[in-house]
């Protein structure tokens, strides 16, 4: 199975925010506070054990191996056919509103199934999702690795615009890909902690001091999804809503 | 509906929602559908228009993506050898300049007092008639030099021709020269014979083995091709030395960061020059065959030791030595970056950049990969159409007279134009035109500028946004953005030469008009023979003819034509455009004007007790002071922060994020700004990113956000060579909770450096 992934090279990144804006432009992300699929946070200058660091946290959805956002989605599963845009191969699987794409490993949202409950938004330890409340019916939204652009042979918008070529996108299951080399041979790192290990597929590469500052400031340290243990209640509510609508 | 409310859902409300859904005739969960047919999402499937960016002056080739007559996205032109498919944050945000609800939509006439920003909508005819009437009247009553024009960028070029045609010497082509690159331009013209660092930047960082940046903060200032070359150089393994009182973004990437005492850079450079000579690290062949004045330099710098400079600059000898060895080892493939923004201290600015030029020469880093390179001009045709030039009339006393090298460059020092407007000496200036530049956020001492404006008979601006400069205008003309108009051909003569042309992505919105149309209409009313072409496309075609192209052909080719570069020369064929064809290590003709042919260290006065030096720079998402209101850019970076050294902050009881006010040596106070407490700045400096703290209420997003550096720069000195104004000669202390706090002096000042004293 393929797993699309991104590596961000902090040694190349100049913190210009082009990625964040290109994403907004491409997907009309609401500009009100708190809405972003893709962001740049500045870190420092601050002291680290390896010297002073002034670096960046260019972040996005990590398209995790074990996406807790998918786990917590309370929507009833429904079977659906998926097509690989590269090979045309088809497969069927059950999805809730948010799911992990069987062909690219991208974590996606079936917008028409999303009930806007916000469980996934709360569960994401990376704060990579938002609930778009500018819509008449709020829906969860986040980075899709520009799935639609990929399907049309385009790169993700952030990768395309990156002025320093600091974002490298590709298939981590392909041993010849650049992302494979960067991850498996050049030590690009996932933003994880001992407590939060859900297999993110975005990696950061950089100097020791910069990675130290990045992890110190932004590695998630709380299992946010444990707080939404009342999943069953939500599932019940969603199910109830569905039954009602069917009966009506 | 708020998410929280949903989480608190009762069964009843759940049913209500379901019923509502049913009312719409849809099931609560609609079946999954493949990607909607018809319109593609995002920018996919958009119509593409090739053009050239003007979110900053660097002008990257772009592709504007248009759907249903609306611009939806901007990407780089993949055929561009400079930026390719990429544009920076600002380039991406051109969409929001076009659709900014705060745009100037119609011609407007002032109704309140000057500076109040109260206007009434008028017709184009009325507006143009009024501007023309006043230009003619002022010219007749006071002579041609009573007209002055402040301009920047492509939007201002046509009207500049018109002002020149009226005979005035007071166009300021551009304030950027006198507020930015003037001293570096002069230093390198005298040393190398050509404009190494003006609008363009001929530094081959992409092939460098080492790079020196003095005060330059590439990445925080963004010119896409420049950043790309710099990053490519670093990725290839180039060593990086950064000299900056602040731990800037490039300082983070540096092998050596030298946190220098502000104002002492020339001491460091002269000590390095001496070190290179004493330790025979210079390129002997290059110096012997391609340089003039080596002996004079050797003699001139012999007393400047690293030990001496260490005390002056507050640096460690070992770090300084490691840095110069690193740079010399890479010679000749070393970028001694000439710098861009060079108007720091007034007096020593040209000589500081001369010292950089000398290092370039000594290390043989000229016309070689990784060093300075030579431009490759792109040939175009000449069109009669846009010609609007006339002999500028000579005034009896020119505003340039005090500055012997100002004559090498077009226009007059802005500080002198403002002074003459204020005093009427040596001649009165009574009318200002402003275009493409927010003069109150750009030129030091805006308080003087505002007073000067009060003395004018008339002032008008051509504006896209009602910035501070527009607020003071009698007439505001709504200019079309770069996305709504054609402009002259854009040729790039850098390391990847190309030709492209700006073309409109959409029709001008509201009543805005292209700068060509405005200049042409004004010319008609002034009765001057300018801009005979009915439409700009006519002369663009003429220009393209000279390059063997038509607009249609250029578009068919992808909107851009690239050429082969010729940036390097073999040592045998190298001939620089100086008189001797060689690098002037010493500039003999400086002596004629009582300047030193070899730079000397002249101390820049240090902050008065209790103050720190105000330094400033760029943030990567904004251009000058002109993009703070852009919706996307504003949300990325709405306000600036004042950087305060952590030890200073601890002594003053200031915490990170505290709201403070800065007060300068003349008692001028900034708007409120948040403190950024960091070890990344020296204790004797406070850093404020440039361009924030807007005072125009008509910029609804930017108004009052952050603090303006320019409104704190009330003291400046003029570069004795060019007349450029200094911008790092003001000092601040911190006001917190209404109480002014003195900055403790944590780095004692050496005796050689005097303190700043207010002149009476």
**pLDDT 10s digits, B113-155:** 999 999 999 999 999 999 999 999 999 999 999 999 999 999 9
| Cα dist from B293 to A47, A176, B283, B374, B586, whole Å | 45, 56, 14, 22, 5
pLDDT of the residue at B34? 37
- For the segment A187-197, the average pLDDT, to the nearest whole number, is 96
The percentage of residues in chain A with a pLDDT greater than 90, rounded to a whole number, is: 88
Please, where in chain B does CATH 2.40.40.20 lie?
Answer: 612-741
What stretch(es) of chain B map to CATH 3.40.228.10?
201-374+579-593
Question: Which of A53, A133, A151 has its CB closest to that of B2?
Answer: A133
Mean pLDDT of chain A: 92
What per-residue confidence (pLDDT) applies to B45?
95
CATH class of B612-741: mainly beta
Q: Which residue has the higher pLDDT, B13 or B92?
A: B92
CA dihedral of residues B462, B467, B472, B478 (deg, nearest 10)? 30
pLDDT-above-90 percentage for chain B: 90
Structure tokens given for B472: 């003071």
Question: Two tokens at B525?
Answer: 């009313």
Q: Using a CB–CB cutoff of 8 Å, tell me whether B545 touches chain A.
A: no
Element (H, E) at B463: strand B458-463
Residue B394 has pLDDT above 90, yes or no: no
In eight-state DSSP terms, residue B181 is I
Chain A, 228 to 247: residues with Cβ < 8 Å from chain B are 234, 237, 240-242, 244-246
pLDDT digits (tens, 9 = 90+) for A23-71: 999 999 999 888 999 999 999 999 999 999 999 999 999 999 999 999 9
Residues B623-655, buried b or exposed e (16+ Cβ, 10 A)? bbbbbbbbbbbbbbbebbbbbbbbebbeebebe
* Cβ within 8 Å, pair B15-A78: no
A117 reaches B (C-beta below 8 A) = yes
This prediction's pTM: 0.94
- On average, the pLDDT of chain B sits at 93
pLDDT at B736 over 60: yes
Confidence of residue B473 (pLDDT cuts 50, 70, 90): very high
Q: List, as one string, the DSSP characters of B489-552.
A: EEEE-SSS-EEEE---SSPPPTT-B-HHHHHHHHHHHHT------SSHHHHHHHHHHTTT--HH
- The answer to whether B102 and B465 have CB atoms below 8 angstroms apart is yes
| Those residues with Cβ within 8 angstroms of residue B554's Cβ, 6 or more apart along the chain or in another chain | B50, B499, B500, B501, B544, B560, B561
Per-residue confidence (pLDDT) for residue B4, from 0 to 100: 34
| Residue in B21, B92, B636 closest to A25 by CB | B92
Give 3-state DSSP helix, strand, coil % of chain B, rounded to 5: 30, 20, 50
What's the burial of B564, exposed, middle or buried (CB within 10 Å: 0-12/13-18/19+)?
Answer: exposed
Query: Quick one: DSSP state of residue B468?
Result: H
Residue environment code for B345-379, b if the CB has 16+ CB neighbours within 10 A, otherwise e:
bbbbbbbbbbbbbbbbbbbbbbbbbbbbbbbbebe
> Which of B631, B679, B681 comes nearest A46 by C-beta?
B679
DSSP helix/strand/coil, A102? coil
**Chain B contact present for A163, CB below 8 A:** yes
Of B34-48, B166-180, B320-334, B649-663, the range with the lowest mean pLDDT is B34-48
- Pair A16, B89: CB distance under 8 Å: yes
Helices (H) and strands (E) in chain A, counts: 8, 12
Contact criterion met (CB < 8 Å) for B35 and A151: yes
Q: Token pair 């050496």 is at which residue? A: B750
Query: What is the reported pLDDT for B198?
Result: 87
Encoded tokens for B528: 């001057």
Question: Strand, coil or helix: what is A42?
Answer: strand
Q: How far is B233 from chain A (nearest CA, A)?
A: 10
Mean pLDDT for the stretch of residues B36-53: 88
Residue B33: is its pLDDT beyond 50?
no
Q: Which of A77-86, B38-47, B329-338 has the lowest mean pLDDT?
A: B38-47
Q: For residue A51, give how far its alpha carbon lies from the nearest alpha carbon of chain B (Å).
A: 10
Q: What beta strand segments (E) does B54-160 contain?
A: 61-67, 70-76, 108-110, 119-121, 147-151
> Which CATH fold topology does B47-99 show?
N-terminal domain of TfIIb (2.20.25)
DSSP string for B564-600: -------TTT---SSSSSSEESS-GGGGGGT--SS--
Q: Assess A104–B contact: CB distance below 8 Å, yes or no.
A: no
pLDDT at residue B172 above 90? no
pLDDT of residue B390 exceeding 80: no
Find where tokens 């460091």 sit.
Answer: B268
Q: Does A38 touch chain B (CB under 8 A)?
A: no
Closest CA–CA distance from residue B681 to any residue of chain A (Å): 9
**Of A141, A146, A163, which to mutate for an interface test with B (greatest number of B Cβ within 10 Å)?**
A163
Q: A175 vs chain B: nearest CA distance in angstroms? A: 23
State whether residue B111 is helix, strand or coil: coil
List of chain B residues whose C-beta atoms are within 8 Å of the C-beta of residue A169: none
CATH tag, A4-243? 3.30.70.20
Q: Strand, coil or helix: what is B662? A: strand
Contact B249 A15 (CB under 8 A): yes
pLDDT of amino acid B24: 31
Helix axes B349-362, B182-192, angle to 10 degrees: 40
A9, containing H or E segment = strand A4-9
Q: What is the pLDDT, as a whole number, of residue B10? A: 32
Computed on alpha carbons and rounded to an integer, the radius of gyration of chain B in Å comes to: 27
Residue B11 in this model has a pLDDT that exceeds 50: no
Q: At residue B23, does pLDDT exceed 80?
A: no
- Does B5 have pLDDT greater than 80? no
pLDDT digit string, tens, across residues A212-233: 999 999 999 999 886 544 444 4
- CB–CB contacts below 8 A, A to B: 202
Lowest mean pLDDT among A31-40, B289-298, B304-313: A31-40
The CATH architecture to which B108-175+379-562 belongs is: 3-Layer(aba) Sandwich (3.40)
Return the pLDDT at B668: 98
Answer yes or no: is pLDDT of B35 > 70.
Answer: no
pLDDT of residue B38: 65
Our CA angle for A215, A218, A219, nearest 5°, is 60
- Nearest by CB to B222, from A16, A115, A149: name it: A16
- Residues B723 and B349: their CA atoms lie apart, in Å, by 11
- Provide the β-strand partners of residue A190: A203
CATH 3.40.50.280 fits B201-374+579-593, yes or no: no
The encoded tokens of residue A221 equal: 């340290």
The first and second tokens of residue B579, run together, are 């008189």
CA-angle at A145, arms to A139 and A147, nearest 5°: 80
Contact B18 A241 (CB under 8 A): yes
Q: What is the mean pLDDT of residues B689-718?
A: 97
- Domain boundaries, given as residue ranges, for chain A: 4-243
Do A53 and B252 lie within an 8 Å CB cutoff? yes
Of the partner residues A45, A152, A237, the one whose CB lies closest to the CB of residue B14:
A237
- Smallest CA–CA separation between B16 and chain A, in Å? 9
Q: Does A93 touch chain B (CB under 8 A)?
A: no
Of B33, B620, B681, the CB nearest to A15: B620
Does B631 contact chain A (CB < 8 Å)? yes
């Amino acid at each position: 199975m393929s797993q699309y992934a991104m590596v961000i090279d902090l040694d190349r990144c100049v913190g210009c925010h082009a990625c964040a804006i290109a994403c907004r432009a491409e997907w009309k992300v609401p500009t009100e506070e708190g809405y972003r699929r893709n962001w740049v946070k500045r870190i420092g200058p601050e002291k680290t054990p390896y010297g002073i660091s002034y670096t960046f946290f260019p972040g996005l959805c990590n398209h995790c191996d074990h996406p807790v956002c998918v786990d917590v989605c309370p929507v009833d599963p429904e079977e659906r056919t998926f097509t690989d845009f590269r090979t045309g191969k088809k497969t069927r699987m059950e999805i809730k509103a948010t799911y992990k794409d069987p062909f690219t490993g991208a974590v996606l949202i079936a917008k028409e199934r999303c009930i806007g409950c916000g469980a996934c938004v709360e569960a994401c330890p990376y704060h990579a999702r938002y609930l778009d409340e500018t819509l008449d019916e709020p829906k969860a939204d986040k980075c899709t690795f520009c799935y639609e652009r990929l399907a049309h042979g385009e790169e993700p918008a952030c990768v395309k615009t990156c002025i320093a070529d600091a974002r490298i996108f590709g298939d981590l299951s392909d041993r010849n890909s650049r992302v494979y080399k960067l991850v498996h041979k050049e030590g690009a790192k996932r933003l994880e902690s001992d407590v939060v290990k859900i297999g993110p597929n975005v990696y950061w590469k950089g100097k020791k001091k910069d990675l130290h500052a990045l992890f110190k400031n932004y590695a998630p340290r709380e299992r946010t999804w444990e707080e939404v243990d009342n999943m069953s209640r939500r599932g019940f509510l969603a199910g109830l809503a569905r039954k009602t609508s069917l009966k009506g | 509906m708020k998410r929280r409310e949903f989480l608190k859902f009762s069964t009843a409300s759940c049913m209500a929602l379901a019923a509502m859904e049913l009312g719409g005739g849809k099931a609560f969960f609609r079946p999954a559908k493949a990607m909607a047919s018809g319109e593609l999402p995002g920018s996919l499937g958009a119509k593409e228009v090739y053009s050239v960016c003007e979110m900053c002056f660097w002008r990257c080739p772009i592709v504007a993506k248009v759907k249903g007559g609306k611009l939806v996205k901007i990407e780089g032109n993949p055929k561009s050898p400079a930026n390719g498919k990429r544009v920076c944050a600002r380039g991406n945000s051109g969409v929001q300049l076009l659709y900014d609800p705060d745009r100037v939509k119609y011609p407007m006439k002032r109704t309140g007092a000057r500076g109040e920003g109260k206007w009434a909508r008028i017709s184009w005819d009325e507006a143009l008639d009024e501007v023309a009437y006043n230009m003619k009247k002022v010219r007749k009553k006071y002579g041609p030099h009573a007209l002055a024009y402040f301009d920047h960028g492509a939007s201002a070029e046509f009207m500049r021709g018109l002002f020149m045609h009226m005979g005035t010497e007071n166009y300021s082509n551009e304030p950027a020269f006198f507020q930015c690159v003037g001293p570096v331009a002069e230093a390198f013209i005298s040393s190398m014979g050509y404009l190494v660092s003006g609008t363009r930047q001929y530094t081959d960082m992409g092939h460098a083995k080492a790079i020196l940046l003095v005060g330059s903060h590439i990445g925080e200032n963004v010119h896409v091709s420049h950043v790309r070359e710099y990053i490519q150089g670093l990725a290839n393994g180039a060593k990086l030395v950064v000299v900056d009182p602040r731990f800037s973004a490039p300082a983070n990437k540096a092998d050596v960061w030298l946190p220098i005492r502000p104002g002492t850079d020339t001491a460091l450079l002269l000590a390095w020059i001496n070190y290179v000579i004493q330790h025979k690290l210079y390129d002997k062949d290059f110096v012997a065959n391609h340089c003039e004045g080596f002996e004079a330099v050797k003699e001139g710098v012999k007393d400047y030791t690293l030990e001496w400079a260490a005390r002056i600059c507050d640096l460690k000898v070992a770090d300084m030595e490691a840095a110069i060895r690193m740079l010399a080892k890479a010679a000749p493939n070393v970028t001694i970056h000439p710098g861009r923004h060079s108007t720091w201290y007034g007096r020593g600015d040209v000589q500081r950049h001369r010292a950089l030029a000398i290092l370039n020469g000594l290390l043989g880093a000229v016309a070689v990969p990784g060093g300075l390179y030579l431009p490759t001009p792109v040939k175009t045709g000449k069109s009669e159409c846009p010609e609007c030039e006339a002999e500028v009339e000579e005034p009896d006393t020119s505003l340039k007279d005090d500055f012997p090298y100002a004559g090498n460059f077009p226009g007059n020092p802005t500080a002198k134009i403002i002074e003459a407007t204020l005093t009427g000496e040596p001649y009165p200036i009574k009318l200002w035109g402003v275009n493409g530049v927010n003069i109150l956020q750009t030129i030091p001492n805006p308080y003087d500028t505002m007073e000067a404006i009060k003395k004018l008979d008339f002032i008008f601006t051509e504006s896209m946004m009602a910035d501070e400069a527009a607020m003071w205008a009698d007439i505001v003309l709504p200019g079309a953005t770069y996305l709504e108009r054609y402009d002259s051909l854009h040729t790039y003569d850098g390391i990847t030469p190309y030709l492209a042309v700006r073309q409109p992505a959409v029709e001008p919105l509201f009543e805005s008009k292209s700068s060509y149309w405005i200049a042409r209409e004004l010319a008609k009313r002034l009765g001057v023979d300018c801009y005979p072409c009915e439409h700009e496309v006519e002369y663009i075609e003429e220009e393209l003819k000279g390059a063997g192209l038509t607009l249609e052909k250029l578009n068919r080719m992808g909107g851009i034509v690239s050429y082969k570069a010729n940036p390097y020369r073999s040592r045998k064929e190298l001939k620089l455009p100086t008189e001797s064809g060689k690098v002037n290590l010493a500039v003999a003709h400086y002596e004629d004007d009582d300047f030193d042919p070899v730079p000397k260290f002249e101390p820049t006065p240090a902050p008065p007790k209790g103050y720190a030096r105000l330094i400033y720079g760029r943030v990567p998402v904004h251009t000058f002071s002109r993009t703070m209101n852009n919706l996307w850019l504003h949300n990325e970076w709405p306000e600036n922060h004042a950087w305060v050294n952590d030890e200073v902050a601890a002594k003053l009881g200031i915490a990170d994020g505290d709201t403070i006010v800065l007060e300068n040596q003349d008692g001028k106070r900034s708007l409120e700004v948040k403190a950024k407490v960091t070890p990344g700045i020296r204790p004797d400096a406070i850093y404020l990113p440039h361009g924030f703290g807007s005072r125009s209420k008509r910029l609804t997003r930017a108004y009052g956000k952050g603090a303006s550096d320019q409104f704190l720069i009330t003291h400046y000195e003029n570069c004795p060579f060019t007349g450029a104004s200094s911008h790092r000669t003001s000092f601040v202390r911190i006001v917190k909770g209404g109480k002014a706090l003195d900055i403790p002096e944590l780095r004692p000042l050496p005796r050689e450096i005097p303190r700043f004293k207010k002149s009476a």
